[in-house]
Amino acid sequence: MNKKRTASGEPPAAGFHPAAVHPEGGRTPESRHAAGSRRSGKELALDGKILEKIKSLRLSGEAEKLAEKFLRDEEVQAMQEYANSVSIVRLKYNDHGPVHMRTVAYNAIIMMDLIRKAGVKTSLESEESGGFEDSLGAVLSGALLHDLGMAIGRQDHELHSAYLAYPILDRIIREVYGMNYQKIAVIRSLALEAISGHMGNRSIYSLEAGIVQIADGCDMKKGRARIPLALAGSPRMGDIHQYSANSIEELTIEQGAEKPISIRVDMSSEVGLFQVEEVLLNKIAAGTAKSYVELYAVLNGGKPKRYL
């Protein structure tokens, strides 16, 4: 008889329940509440990377302050954790929680830095509605809240995310920008566009929203699928997302040879091409940042295959 095993491959201990497993090496919202809602080590490490990257951009400090407030906000943390619990335990999907949303934010910050270095203006800059730091604030805010709607379900989760995020966005943005209603309106609106458009199935119009869309598609490394695969027990319809993600060894975002952004995906199996061709490539093609991106896939250290 096949016995269910934990992610480490060991038989589950007595009393084991899938809801007690968290894909980020931490705990579910329920167990975290009992333990004082501590963030996992992986979450804290990502917090440090996000803040360090923003600080390296040498801006006014507003974006850094905004990031600190989102990363330390208990309501944001609780919403992210519950969205992840529903995604993994109830729906059997990949990680859509605190680590995923932080990873997307970090990816987006890297890409924002690269387009800035290449002299590409954001939509706010081009339209003279704001500066680069305002654009970064919107991208960061949208990325950190984009999957809250998974707490309700997969279908239309991007729209659920938008209305769940609105009061949080409004509260935190006002804490940073005070009575500057112009910045509040601009950053809040752009963040909501990024959230509602991140799946690539709705039209987006700002470069900022396009960056979040691609940053989301770039979170495909094998760690994201580890726990869902362990809990599944046996293959199910739709598991291609998890099996393909489990073959992705590394994803690198750096300056391109011809374009501002180069994305390289290293994989150990051809099944990983599903992530590149059916997920990431579609998100890039559907968005506003396509003309600034090079995309490569590398199978088992072989010759890179260029898509864009």
Q: Name all domains of the chain by residue range, CATH numbers in brackets.
A: 39-306 (1.10.1300)
pTM over 0.75: yes
Q: Residue 236 and residue 49: Cα distance in Å, rounded? A: 36
C-alpha dist (Å) from residue 53 to 107, 130, 255, 272 = 10, 21, 15, 29
Instruction: Report pLDDT for 100.
Output: 96
How much is the pLDDT for 246?
Answer: 81
Q: Which residue is listed with tokens 């290293």?
A: 266
- What is the model's pLDDT at position 240? 53
β partners of residue 294: 262
What is the structure's pLDDT at 93? 84
pLDDT value of position 161: 98
What is the distance between the alpha carbons of residues 153 and 87, in angstroms, rounded to a whole number?
8
Segments of the chain scoring below 70 in pLDDT: 1-37, 223-243
Give dist(CA 134, CA 189) in Å, integer. Answer: 11
- Rounded-to-10 torsion of CA 224, 225, 231, 237: 140
pLDDT at 232: 54
pLDDT value for 222: 73
Residue 292's pLDDT is what?
98
